[in-house]
Structure 1
């Protein structure tokens, strides 16, 4: 009888805790990219599971009862599809893909628009990386012709932008020996001499590229000149960028490229109060400290740019917070 009573009490406590707990998944990208570590930092910052100490008690400054997790995924397109399908509560995606998906334009033309997609925050600029093996002889985008090039996996924002870059420089997939691999897989192939170049879109320094550069002689190829100018003129979500010298081993000079915003999106179906609390937790002092210390791109995630470069509606909860904070009219 005593054992039964203990089990009953235990189950009651467990049930109550489960009822007070909310799970919130953040779709990121491959573990070798930038989305995944940034997602982990944010998930940690906004979480405050039942039974945890409150911020006032020296504990988490996240949302009471919330358990957030960073989920590895295929990236931008996959995250948006998962949010719309209800298998993710939120996710990271490139600004171009976000706008196209919500409006049913660009790469989303002919497919049902993700009309319930809503913005939580613009996070940081993502740089287009074109990495080539030194022995490949590749020194420009045009030199990719006839080479073995990975454009990243289906469902990734990198694949979208790699195709734009190729087209902007007068090339297509038919002009290269195209493969569709994650950056870490492409890097492994390059080490083995089976890959000449690969594209990656993400914040620098990217883990897969940094590791590769420390073990193999590679070069970062500029995305600049007339081809880049044409891309900037055609696509307003791209901006001119450069990867500073010394970002990767063996990189002696700045490398001109393009960038696009990384954005955190969710569904309009999520409760306003939940998203308000999450947005508020994203911008508290505790989160600021975690972002500044946790990743090079974390320092670029700032409240004053959270509403910049946004082409879709904000979630009402996020909108309410930004208006209170004075960064949104």
Structure 2
């Protein structure tokens, strides 16, 4: 019987060694994803950080990193371009972006698909109790913080105040929530606009050091075409006692906050992510991080979504008994 050449044996052994060394790293290979959240002190950041941590811990082949962000509009652009894989976006920005109607931005953001409803985001308009400001129209000539430039908060503020004819009559400050809370107490600004689930940490911060007033926004909106031109907004009440010193119901406007994925994200990953986060254990974890997560549930998973779902999300919600609207049909 012919002998196998020693050199070939050596080559074969080397190849086997390389394969053996590679197997562990191949087994540990993970899909790395980025989740674009929000500014410090905002509810977006609580959600993006919590979901990123949960998915990284519970799904063996996925690692999700949380990214700070200016907020909704920046998240829309990041996910659309592929710079982020997941994001948190207001339904209004998602709808306007998909249809090319964002303020000063006619581009259509077609690569961003809805996954799930997270919570309602009501507008908070806070002033100092002794400021003499008792209604929205009193803000003419006043310094008003509306959130960082590029954020969903700033975009929603511009829509609201423009409908009331006030946007160009105020001194608008593009600063984040935490800075705004401090500035309000230091009287560097006279009002702060926060667009986030309640209770919000920045409003809590402002109320802890000062006597504040939250202005009701619905009556002023109804006196204009605000709701007709922005059908994704709804009326909502922030209950009395939610914040220190605010012992009355506040009638305000609300957008829906949507978890989104890029069209490039694989359907099975989206389905796995939803399965984990909307499990009983996942929902309990989310609620332990932020009270705003109390709005999350299987039965309301596609609530407030007025744009197409990701294919993986559509499969998940239909498997859980939800009916998709015409606007939610997957792409």
TM-score, normalised with respect to structure 1: 0.87
Kindly tell me: are residues 46 and 110 of structure 1, through their superposed partners in 2, closer, same or farther at Cα, counting changes over 3 Å?
same
Which one of the candidate residues 178, 187, 191 is aligned to 1:193? 187
CA deviations over 1:28-62 (Å, ceiling 9, x no partner): 111201111122222232223xxxxxxxxxxxxx3
SS at match of 1:242: strand
Runs (5+) with no aligned partner, structure 1:
1-7, 49-61
Moved over 3 A (4+): 11-18
SS at match of 2:47: helix
**Which entry has the higher C-alpha Rg, 1 or 2?**
2
Shift of 1:13: 7.5
Which one of the candidate residues 87, 109, 112 is aligned to 1:114? 109
Could you say which residue in structure 2 is the equivalent of 1:79?
Answer: 75
**1:99 and 1:258 mapped to 2: Cα distance?**
17
Shift of 1:241: 0.7
Kindly tell me: are residues 324 and 197 of structure 1, through their superposed partners in 2, closer, same or farther at Cα, counting changes over 3 Å?
same
Q: How many residues align?
A: 306
Shift of 1:168: 2.6
**2:222 and 2:93 mapped to 1: Cα distance?**
19
CA deviations over 1:208-248 (Å, ceiling 9, x no partner): 11011101122111102143453223211010011111111
Could you say which residue in structure 2 is the equivalent of 1:213?
Answer: 207
TM-score, normalised with respect to structure 2: 0.87
Which one of the candidate residues 199, 219, 222 is aligned to 1:225? 219
Which one of the candidate residues 87, 94, 97 is aligned to 2:93? 97
Could you say which residue in structure 2 is the equivalent of 1:263?
Answer: 258
Pairing of 1:125-140 with structure 2 (within 5 A): 125-140=120-135
Runs (5+) with no aligned partner, structure 2:
1-17, 325-331
Kindly tell me: are residues 88 and 190 of structure 1, through their superposed partners in 2, closer, same or farther at Cα, counting changes over 3 Å?
same
CA deviations over 1:143-180 (Å, ceiling 9, x no partner): 1001111121111111111112212322122x111111
CA RMSD of aligned residues (A): 2.1
**2:312 and 2:60 mapped to 1: Cα distance?**
16
Kindly tell me: are residues 283 and 168 of structure 1, through their superposed partners in 2, closer, same or farther at Cα, counting changes over 3 Å?
same
Could you say which residue in structure 2 is the equivalent of 1:299?
Answer: 294
**1:294 and 1:178 mapped to 2: Cα distance?**
32
Say whether the 8 Å CA contact 2:82–2:264 is kept in structure 1.
no
Say whether the 8 Å CA contact 2:40–2:177 is kept in structure 1.
no
Could you say which residue in structure 1 is the equivalent of 2:160?
Answer: 165
Residue 283 (str. 1) matches residue 292 (str. 2): no
Kindly tell me: are residues 13 and 129 of structure 1, through their superposed partners in 2, closer, same or farther at Cα, counting changes over 3 Å?
farther
Could you say which residue in structure 2 is the equivalent of 1:53?
Answer: none
